[in-house]
């Protein structure tokens, strides 16, 4: 750690806000993480093979490591950690080892209250750094999802755009295809239709891969009936691109989103429920809202924010309600957290 005294002050702030120390494992099963929390970790992992032939890695992310420990029932639901994350990067200036102090609230249903608690605790900690003026960038992945679900286009396109929002390069390719009304599944569609016709002649009660033929046919039928001809792609893409250009002061957000909805003939109430973002209005700090923000980590599902001191990012966090289920939980579990990057202090 670069400053033991500063770390101790921040940890004291964490403790005073009710967070309890958790020490997530340093060594993790790399395939488990990739399969469960996304391929985006694969290129950044530092891996090795143990004596049993299993591929292990140094934890690439302390949030994922904390969630794994929580699921193993070795962790409290309101925790803080102090440690290192180990990640490779294509950027020459990036650190291989990231010293972090972070907090997580896992399994609590008081989402609005928890979001505020995490934001306030991290901001109080950031103020102890006493560096340049603090500024915040904030986004909300759920607003993008809400926009996509409100647009009149085939369900398969909605699923693709939401699923790949975190991959900006590939997402852009999808927009170009949508703009030209070029369905990327034409070959698969033809194969599905042929298989559908073949399976209709089979015994309907026969079980394949845990499902009966009749159950499989219902899925195929729904997929095949999803309209293949779609002529509004260009208009839909224009709306999406326009949304992703929104960058405004938080104080102007209500007005900006309302004007966007009116201009694009959308229901005016589609962006009404974003109270977690409004939490930031309670702090006397410059806050910018950016719709195209927070896409670099796959597991975020709601608010995502970064705190800057000058041009340096000193903390970041957000809500990730789907991550624990992807790591093995039987259902989605509410979760929010944030971490201070001590390397930038």
Phi-psi region of 264 (alpha: psi -120 to 50; beta: other; left: phi over 0): alpha
Residue 180: what pLDDT? 83
What are phi and psi for residue 167, nearest 5 degrees?
A: -115, 80
pLDDT digits (tens, 9 = 90+) for 63-109: 989 999 999 887 779 999 999 998 877 666 567 888 999 999 999 99
- 1-127+337-345 maps to CATH 3.90.1150.10: no
Q: Which of 97-101, 148-152, 280-284, 306-310 has the lowest mean pLDDT?
A: 280-284
Domain boundaries, the chain: 1-127+337-345, 154-243
> 307: part of which helix (H) or strand (E)?
strand 303-309
Contact 280, 119 (CB under 8 A): yes
**CA separation for the pair 287, 280 (Å, rounded):** 7
Query: Is residue 80 within 8 Å of 63, Cβ to Cβ?
Result: no
Query: Cα(135)–Cα(57) distance, rounded to whole angstroms?
Result: 34
State the burial class of residue 52 (Cβ atoms within 10 Å of its Cβ: 0-12, 13-18, 19+): exposed
**Residue 40 in this model has a pLDDT that exceeds 70:** no
Residue-wise DSSP of 78-147: EEEEEEEEE---SSTT--SEEEEEEEEEES-S-HHHHHHHHHHHHHHHHHTT--SPEEEEEEEHHHHHHH
Structure tokens at 40: 């985006």
pLDDT digits (tens, 9 = 90+) for 228-250: 456 688 999 999 999 999 999 99
| pTM score above 0.85 | no
Q: Which pLDDT does position 207 carry in this prediction?
A: 60
Mean pLDDT of 207-232: 63
The band of 204, judged by pLDDT with boundaries at 50, 70 and 90, is confident
């Amino acid at each position: 750690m670069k400053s033991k005294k500063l770390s101790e002050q921040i940890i004291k702030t964490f403790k005073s806000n009710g967070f309890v120390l958790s020490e997530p494992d340093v060594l993790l099963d790399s395939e488990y993480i990739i399969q469960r929390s996304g391929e985006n970790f694969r290129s950044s992992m530092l891996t090795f093979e143990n004596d049993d032939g299993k591929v292990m890695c140094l934890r690439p992310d302390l949030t994922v490591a904390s969630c794994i420990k929580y699921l193993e029932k070795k962790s409290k639901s309101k925790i803080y950690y102090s440690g290192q994350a180990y990640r490779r990067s294509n950027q020459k200036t990036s650190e291989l080892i990231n010293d972090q102090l972070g907090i997580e609230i896992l399994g609590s249903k008081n989402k609005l209250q928890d979001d505020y608690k995490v934001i306030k605790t991290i901001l109080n900690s950031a103020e102890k750094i006493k560096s340049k003026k603090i500024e915040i960038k904030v986004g909300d992945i759920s607003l993008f999802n809400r926009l996509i679900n409100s647009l009149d286009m085939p369900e398969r396109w909605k699923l693709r755009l939401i699923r790949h929002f975190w991959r900006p390069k590939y997402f852009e390719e999808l927009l170009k295809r949508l703009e030209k009304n070029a369905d990327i599944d034409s070959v698969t569609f033809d194969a599905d239709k042929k298989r559908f016709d073949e399976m209709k002649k089979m015994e309907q009660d026969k079980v394949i891969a845990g499902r009966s033929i009749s159950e499989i046919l219902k899925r195929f039928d729904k997929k095949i009936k999803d309209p293949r001809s779609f002529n509004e792609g260009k208009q839909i893409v224009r709306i999406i691109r326009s949304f992703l250009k929104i960058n405004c002061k938080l104080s102007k957000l209500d007005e900006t989103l309302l004007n966007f909805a009116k201009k694009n003939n959308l229901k005016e109430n589609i962006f009404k429920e974003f109270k977690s973002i409004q939490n930031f209005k309670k702090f006397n700090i410059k806050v910018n809202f950016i719709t195209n923000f927070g896409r670099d980590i796959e597991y975020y599902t709601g608010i995502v924010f970064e705190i800057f001191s000058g041009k340096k990012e000193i903390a970041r966090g957000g809500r990730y309600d789907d991550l624990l289920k992807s790591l093995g939980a039987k259902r989605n579990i509410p979760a929010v957290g944030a971490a201070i990057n001590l390397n930038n202090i």
